[in-house]
Amino acid sequence: MNASDVKATLSFSDGSPSMDLPIYKGSIGPDVIDIRKLYGQTGKFTYDPGFLSTASCQSAITYIDGDKGELLYRGYPIEQLATGCDFLDTCYLLLYGELPNEQQQRDFHKLVNNHTMVNEQMQFFLRGFRRDAHPMAVMTGLVGGLSAFYHDSTDINNPKHREIAAIRLIAKMPTLVAMAYKYSIGQPYIYPKNDLSYAGNFMRMMFATPCEEYVPNDVLVRAMDRIFILHADHEQNASTSTVRLCGSSGTNPFAAIAAGVACLWGPAHGGANEACLNMLEEIQQMGGVEKIGDFIKQVKDKTSSVKLMGFGHRVYKNYDPRAKLMRETCHEVLSALGLENDPLFKLAMALEKIALEDEYFVSRKLYPNVDFYSGIVQRAIGIPVSLFTAIFALARTVGWIAQLNEMIADPEYKIGRPRQLFVGAERRDVPPLSAR
């Protein structure tokens, strides 16, 4: 880490000795104040629930400038990656730090393809679930279940093991998501076909049946690939931090990723795409565009707990760059399918326009995030709403594993162990039952 010449000084109004704190500079972004010695020297902790001002690690993978609305993977803008690379190039970049050359690209595709099948026993594991189980419940179980199948890639202190676990996870996630879908609709599983692209193979496993081959539509396959690229990593978000914290105990890498899947499920995080589409459908049922005003009134009413799903972000205080790309993809997909007049898309555009002009959203810097449009694209492709978050998990797996592996290789890494401000009862004695 690059130490700055400037130091921060922490002083106390009660006359306790002040303390100098080192400051480090990143390559871009805010400097950080190193408080690691604070407790040792002052006996005090810092208090920052929700990590509003706390960097939990150093990382060289992804950078977001929330005010500019900029997202960089290893320095490359998301717009350039989404238009000039495919998802597997992006995976390579996130894992190894550089884009692959032609040879590396060929080798990497071959390596990932070698691992697309899952152990045949996985389907019996899947059978234990109810057919109507939520796909994220199933995925949490299946990804955790991988840890019971792949014993030769579970020593996280061994870099080779870490790499094999990364490749296995990237390769098997599409197979598992498609299996979870096929199981839910009672169709036979479709095995991976390794001469297809990563996105094309996933769509075939989702939509082919043993009696009818899937005919790929290039626009839809490209759209799916773009969804994967846009969701591949996003800095130290809730699920990534969960994976890091879980992995910091030295646990099995598949188990750490399962923890990320569980965290992603929530509607404030990956579950927002599902919640957003449900919201659009509800407004449509209420009367569509004409009822937007009533809906916005509810959103602004703090007692209603209604939120405009797909709007707002902890880091972006500008238009989410992924939302712009997803909006473009939405146009392409709907026009390729002859759905230009799709009522939900029209509703989403009207809602976006009104929200972008409304003082409530403007003053709070609430802009559309990626989930505002990704649900419409997925629904048009034929993905059921309940599967949206599982597809997000599929795409985010590379980010999780890249971040986990970065943490383990970091000499400064320690098991994560936050402190607390205790506000409960002080020590007291247990009274006998008759006196309680």
Residues in touch with ligand CMC (CB under 6 A): 234, 237, 268-270, 272, 299, 307-314, 364, 366, 369-371
**Cα 174 to Cα 394: distance, rounded to the nearest angstrom:** 6
List the catalytic residues.
313, 371
Of 68 and 364, CB closest to ligand CMC: 364
Tokens of 399: 């980010």
**Cα 55 to Cα 197: distance, rounded to the nearest angstrom:** 37
For the CB of residue 363, give the shortest distance to ligand CMC in the complex, in Å: 9
Of 226 and 313, CB closest to ligand CMC: 313
Of 239 and 248, CB closest to ligand CMC: 239
For the CB of residue 52, give the shortest distance to ligand CMC in the complex, in Å: 8
For the CB of residue 177, give the shortest distance to ligand CMC in the complex, in Å: 18
Q: Tell me how far CA of residue 27 lies from CA of 9, 59, 62, 132, 264, in angstroms.
A: 23, 11, 12, 48, 29
Burial 31-49 (b: 16+ CB within 10 A, else e): ebbebeebeeeeeeeeeee
Q: Which residue is nearest to ligand CMC (CB)?
A: 312
Query: DSSP string spanning 82-114?
Result: HHH--HHHHHHHHHHSS---HHHHHHHHHHHHT
Of 254 and 311, CB closest to ligand CMC: 311
For the CB of residue 359, give the shortest distance to ligand CMC in the complex, in Å: 12
**Cα 89 to Cα 229: distance, rounded to the nearest angstrom:** 9
Helices (H) and strands (E) in the chain, counts: 18, 6
Of 311 and 400, CB closest to ligand CMC: 311
For the CB of residue 153, give the shortest distance to ligand CMC in the complex, in Å: 28
| Number of Cβ atoms within 10 Å of the Cβ of 212 | 8
Burial 127-154 (b: 16+ CB within 10 A, else e): eebeeebbbbbbbbbbbbbbbeebeebb
Of 147 and 397, CB closest to ligand CMC: 397
Of 397, 383, 402, 400, nearest to 173 by C-alpha is 397
For the CB of residue 366, give the shortest distance to ligand CMC in the complex, in Å: 5
Q: In terms of C-beta density within 10 A (0-12 exposed, 13-18 middle, 19 or more buried), how is residue 242 classed?
A: buried
For the CB of residue 297, give the shortest distance to ligand CMC in the complex, in Å: 12
Of 216 and 267, CB closest to ligand CMC: 267
Q: Name residues whose C-beta falls within 8 Å of residue 191's C-beta, 6 or more positions apart in sequence.
A: 117, 205
Of 323 and 408, CB closest to ligand CMC: 323
367 and 319 in contact (C-beta within 8 Å)? yes
Phi (first) and psi of residue 94, to 5 degrees: -65, -40
**Cα 62 to Cα 234: distance, rounded to the nearest angstrom:** 6
**Cα 105 to Cα 237: distance, rounded to the nearest angstrom:** 29
Run of H or E residues at 404: helix 388-409
- What is the rounded end-to-end Cα distance, in angstroms, of the chain? 56
For the CB of residue 264, give the shortest distance to ligand CMC in the complex, in Å: 7
